[in-house]
Amino acid sequence: GESVGLHLPTLSVQEGDNSIINCAYSNSASDYFIWYKQESGKGPQFIIDIRSNMDKRQGQRVTVLLNKTVKHLSLQIAATQPGDSAVYFCAETFGYNKLIFGAGTRLAVHP
Amino acid sequence: DGGITQSPKYLFRKEGQNVTLSCEQNLNHDAMYWYRQDPGQGLRLIYYSQIVNDFQKGDIAEGYSVSREKKESFPLTVTSAQKNPTAFYLCASSIEQTQYFGPGTRLTVL
Protein backbone atom coordinates (compact mmCIF):
# COMPACT_ATOMS: atom_id res chain seq x y z
CA GLY A 1 0.00 0.00 0.00
CA GLU A 2 0.92 3.64 -0.02
CA SER A 3 3.44 4.70 2.58
CA VAL A 4 5.43 7.66 3.70
CA GLY A 5 8.97 6.99 4.82
CA LEU A 6 12.00 8.88 6.00
CA HIS A 7 15.59 8.50 4.83
CA LEU A 8 17.29 9.16 8.17
CA PRO A 9 16.00 8.01 11.53
CA THR A 10 18.34 10.31 13.50
CA LEU A 11 19.91 13.61 12.55
CA SER A 12 22.52 15.32 14.73
CA VAL A 13 23.41 18.95 14.09
CA GLN A 14 25.34 21.72 15.76
CA GLU A 15 23.44 24.64 17.18
CA GLY A 16 23.29 27.39 14.59
CA ASP A 17 23.66 25.08 11.61
CA ASN A 18 20.90 24.43 9.10
CA SER A 19 19.03 21.12 9.30
CA ILE A 20 17.51 19.19 6.46
CA ILE A 21 15.06 16.38 7.15
CA ASN A 22 14.03 14.25 4.21
CA CYS A 23 10.94 12.23 3.43
CA ALA A 24 9.93 9.95 0.56
CA TYR A 25 6.37 9.27 -0.38
CA SER A 26 5.01 6.62 -2.70
CA ASN A 27 1.57 7.82 -3.75
CA SER A 28 1.76 10.16 -6.72
CA ALA A 29 -1.91 11.03 -6.18
CA SER A 30 -1.22 12.70 -2.82
CA ASP A 31 -2.14 16.34 -3.01
CA TYR A 32 -1.25 17.70 0.41
CA PHE A 33 1.74 17.25 2.69
CA ILE A 34 2.34 18.30 6.28
CA TRP A 35 5.34 18.42 8.58
CA TYR A 36 4.78 17.92 12.29
CA LYS A 37 7.12 18.35 15.25
CA GLN A 38 6.66 16.12 18.27
CA GLU A 39 8.45 16.73 21.54
CA SER A 40 8.76 13.93 24.06
CA GLY A 41 5.45 13.07 25.72
CA LYS A 42 3.48 15.63 23.72
CA GLY A 43 1.16 15.62 20.74
CA PRO A 44 2.45 16.48 17.25
CA GLN A 45 2.56 20.18 16.48
CA PHE A 46 1.80 21.48 13.00
CA ILE A 47 4.86 23.17 11.47
CA ILE A 48 4.20 23.79 7.81
CA ASP A 49 2.27 22.35 4.90
CA ILE A 50 2.45 22.34 1.13
CA ARG A 51 0.08 21.43 -1.66
CA SER A 52 1.06 19.44 -4.68
CA ASN A 53 0.73 22.44 -6.99
CA MET A 54 3.65 24.11 -5.19
CA ASP A 55 7.39 23.34 -5.10
CA LYS A 56 8.41 25.42 -2.12
CA ARG A 57 6.86 27.09 0.86
CA GLN A 58 8.53 29.15 3.55
CA GLY A 59 7.63 29.80 7.13
CA GLN A 60 9.48 31.26 10.06
CA ARG A 61 12.93 29.61 9.93
CA VAL A 62 11.44 26.63 8.08
CA THR A 63 11.13 25.81 4.42
CA VAL A 64 9.42 22.83 2.84
CA LEU A 65 10.45 21.64 -0.61
CA LEU A 66 8.41 19.27 -2.73
CA ASN A 67 9.87 17.38 -5.66
CA LYS A 68 7.02 15.52 -7.33
CA THR A 69 9.27 14.02 -9.98
CA VAL A 70 11.07 11.86 -7.43
CA LYS A 71 8.31 11.93 -4.79
CA HIS A 72 10.49 13.64 -2.23
CA LEU A 73 9.69 16.10 0.53
CA SER A 74 12.16 17.94 2.72
CA LEU A 75 12.03 20.23 5.72
CA GLN A 76 14.79 22.77 6.13
CA ILE A 77 15.30 24.46 9.48
CA ALA A 78 17.55 27.51 9.47
CA ALA A 79 19.86 28.32 12.37
CA THR A 80 18.84 25.25 14.34
CA GLN A 81 18.27 25.87 18.04
CA PRO A 82 18.17 23.51 21.04
CA GLY A 83 14.40 23.98 21.14
CA ASP A 84 14.20 22.38 17.71
CA SER A 85 15.23 19.02 19.17
CA ALA A 86 12.26 16.71 18.61
CA VAL A 87 10.94 14.02 16.32
CA TYR A 88 9.74 15.30 12.98
CA PHE A 89 7.05 13.53 10.97
CA CYS A 90 6.00 14.05 7.43
CA ALA A 91 2.50 13.08 6.42
CA GLU A 92 0.62 12.87 3.16
CA THR A 93 -3.06 12.90 2.48
CA PHE A 94 -5.32 12.21 -0.43
CA GLY A 95 -9.06 12.35 -0.15
CA TYR A 96 -11.22 11.80 2.94
CA ASN A 97 -8.65 13.56 5.14
CA LYS A 98 -6.84 10.34 5.96
CA LEU A 99 -3.23 11.17 6.84
CA ILE A 100 -0.45 8.67 6.24
CA PHE A 101 2.50 9.23 8.56
CA GLY A 102 6.10 8.25 8.28
CA ALA A 103 7.99 6.73 11.20
CA GLY A 104 9.69 10.03 12.08
CA THR A 105 13.20 11.48 12.24
CA ARG A 106 14.76 12.46 15.52
CA LEU A 107 16.63 15.77 15.38
CA ALA A 108 19.29 16.22 18.05
CA VAL A 109 20.82 19.68 18.39
CA HIS A 110 24.22 19.87 20.07
CA PRO A 111 25.75 23.02 21.56
CA ASP B 1 -2.46 21.74 21.06
CA GLY B 2 -4.82 24.66 20.48
CA GLY B 3 -8.37 23.97 21.54
CA ILE B 4 -8.07 20.19 21.76
CA THR B 5 -7.98 18.63 25.21
CA GLN B 6 -7.44 15.03 26.19
CA SER B 7 -7.91 13.52 29.59
CA PRO B 8 -6.47 12.01 31.56
CA LYS B 9 -2.80 12.54 30.71
CA TYR B 10 -1.85 9.19 32.25
CA LEU B 11 -4.16 6.20 32.66
CA PHE B 12 -3.57 2.81 34.19
CA ARG B 13 -5.80 -0.15 33.54
CA LYS B 14 -5.93 -3.69 34.75
CA GLU B 15 -6.17 -6.46 32.23
CA GLY B 16 -9.75 -7.28 31.32
CA GLN B 17 -11.07 -3.79 32.01
CA ASN B 18 -12.57 -1.36 29.54
CA VAL B 19 -11.38 2.23 29.74
CA THR B 20 -12.56 5.42 28.03
CA LEU B 21 -10.29 8.22 26.87
CA SER B 22 -11.74 11.68 26.54
CA CYS B 23 -11.21 14.09 23.64
CA GLU B 24 -12.84 17.51 23.46
CA GLN B 25 -12.34 20.34 20.96
CA ASN B 26 -13.67 23.88 20.85
CA LEU B 27 -12.40 24.66 17.36
CA ASN B 28 -15.73 23.96 15.68
CA HIS B 29 -14.05 21.31 13.53
CA ASP B 30 -16.32 18.77 11.88
CA ALA B 31 -13.81 15.91 11.65
CA MET B 32 -12.09 14.17 14.56
CA TYR B 33 -9.61 11.30 14.73
CA TRP B 34 -7.97 8.85 17.10
CA TYR B 35 -4.44 7.60 16.60
CA ARG B 36 -2.24 5.18 18.44
CA GLN B 37 1.51 5.71 18.74
CA ASP B 38 3.94 3.06 19.92
CA PRO B 39 7.53 3.84 20.95
CA GLY B 40 9.73 4.85 18.04
CA GLN B 41 6.91 4.57 15.56
CA GLY B 42 4.58 6.78 13.62
CA LEU B 43 0.87 7.25 14.13
CA ARG B 44 -1.70 4.65 13.22
CA LEU B 45 -5.34 5.56 12.67
CA ILE B 46 -7.88 3.84 14.92
CA TYR B 47 -11.17 5.58 14.12
CA TYR B 48 -12.29 8.83 12.54
CA SER B 49 -15.49 10.80 12.33
CA GLN B 50 -16.33 13.26 9.59
CA ILE B 51 -19.58 14.44 11.17
CA VAL B 52 -21.72 14.00 14.25
CA ASN B 53 -23.34 10.58 14.62
CA ASP B 54 -21.07 9.05 11.99
CA PHE B 55 -17.66 7.38 12.25
CA GLN B 56 -15.48 4.96 10.31
CA LYS B 57 -12.87 2.38 11.21
CA GLY B 58 -9.28 3.23 10.58
CA ASP B 59 -6.39 0.83 10.08
CA ILE B 60 -6.35 -0.70 13.58
CA ALA B 61 -9.94 -0.50 14.90
CA GLU B 62 -10.10 -3.98 16.44
CA GLY B 63 -10.55 -3.80 20.21
CA TYR B 64 -11.62 -0.14 20.17
CA SER B 65 -14.96 1.66 20.01
CA VAL B 66 -16.00 5.29 19.63
CA SER B 67 -19.05 7.52 19.68
CA ARG B 68 -19.73 10.96 18.23
CA GLU B 69 -22.88 12.29 19.86
CA LYS B 70 -21.63 15.88 19.94
CA LYS B 71 -19.48 17.86 17.55
CA GLU B 72 -17.10 18.78 20.35
CA SER B 73 -16.53 15.30 21.74
CA PHE B 74 -15.10 12.04 20.39
CA PRO B 75 -14.42 9.57 23.22
CA LEU B 76 -12.44 6.39 22.60
CA THR B 77 -13.09 3.18 24.55
CA VAL B 78 -10.30 0.65 24.76
CA THR B 79 -11.98 -2.67 25.36
CA SER B 80 -10.67 -5.85 26.90
CA ALA B 81 -10.55 -7.28 23.38
CA GLN B 82 -7.57 -5.06 22.56
CA LYS B 83 -4.69 -7.43 23.15
CA ASN B 84 -1.90 -4.90 23.49
CA PRO B 85 -3.41 -1.59 24.60
CA THR B 86 -0.36 -0.02 26.23
CA ALA B 87 0.45 2.96 24.02
CA PHE B 88 0.25 6.73 23.60
CA TYR B 89 -3.16 7.76 22.26
CA LEU B 90 -3.60 10.95 20.27
CA CYS B 91 -6.79 12.70 19.29
CA ALA B 92 -6.95 15.18 16.43
CA SER B 93 -9.48 17.37 14.71
CA SER B 94 -9.31 18.94 11.29
CA ILE B 95 -10.35 21.87 9.21
CA GLU B 96 -10.20 20.89 5.54
CA GLN B 97 -7.09 18.67 5.25
CA THR B 98 -5.05 20.01 8.17
CA GLN B 99 -5.16 18.00 11.37
CA TYR B 100 -4.36 19.46 14.78
CA PHE B 101 -3.50 17.22 17.70
CA GLY B 102 -4.25 17.12 21.38
CA PRO B 103 -1.61 16.53 24.07
CA GLY B 104 -2.19 12.76 24.22
CA THR B 105 -3.07 10.16 26.83
CA ARG B 106 -0.56 7.53 27.86
CA LEU B 107 -2.34 4.28 28.68
CA THR B 108 -0.56 1.55 30.58
CA VAL B 109 -2.05 -1.87 31.22
CA LEU B 110 -0.88 -3.39 34.47
Mean pLDDT of A16-37: 93
Mean pLDDT of A100-107: 88
Residue in B41, B94, B104 nearest the CB of A97: B94
CA-to-CA dists, residue A86 to A22, A64, A104, B75, angstroms:
15, 17, 10, 28
Tell me whether residue A106 is exposed, middle or buried, using C-beta atoms within 10 angstroms of its C-beta: 0 to 12, 13 to 18, 19 or more: middle
pLDDT over threshold 50, residue A53: yes
A to B CB pairs, distance under 8 Å: 52
Which residues of B lie closer than 8 Å to A, measured between beta carbons? 1, 4, 6, 31, 40-43, 45, 48, 50, 58, 90, 94, 96-104, 106
Total count of residues recorded for chain A: 111
Please give the distance of CA B94 from its chain centroid, rounded to a whole number.
14
What confidence tens digit (pLDDT) does each residue in A63-101 have? Answer: 999 999 999 999 999 999 999 999 999 999 887 668 888
Which residues of A lie closer than 8 Å to B, measured between beta carbons? 32, 34, 36, 41-46, 49, 89, 93, 96-99, 101-104
pLDDT of residue A27: 86
Instruction: Report phi then psi at A83, rounded to 5.
Output: -70, -10
How distant is the Cα of B2 from the closest Cα of chain A, in angstroms? 10
Local confidence band at A3 (pLDDT 50, 70, 90 cut-offs): very low
Low-confidence stretches of chain B (pLDDT < 70) are 1-2
Shortest CA distance from B99: residue in chain A: A46
Local confidence band at A1 (pLDDT 50, 70, 90 cut-offs): very low
pLDDT of residue B96: 83
Higher pLDDT, A31 or A2: A31
Mean pLDDT of A48-58: 96
- Taking an 8 Å cut-off on Cβ atoms, the answer to whether B104 and A104 are in contact is no
Local confidence band at A6 (pLDDT 50, 70, 90 cut-offs): very low
Residue A20: other Cβ atoms inside 10 A: 14
Top residue of B25, B99, B100 to mutate, by most chain A CBs within 10 Å, is: B99
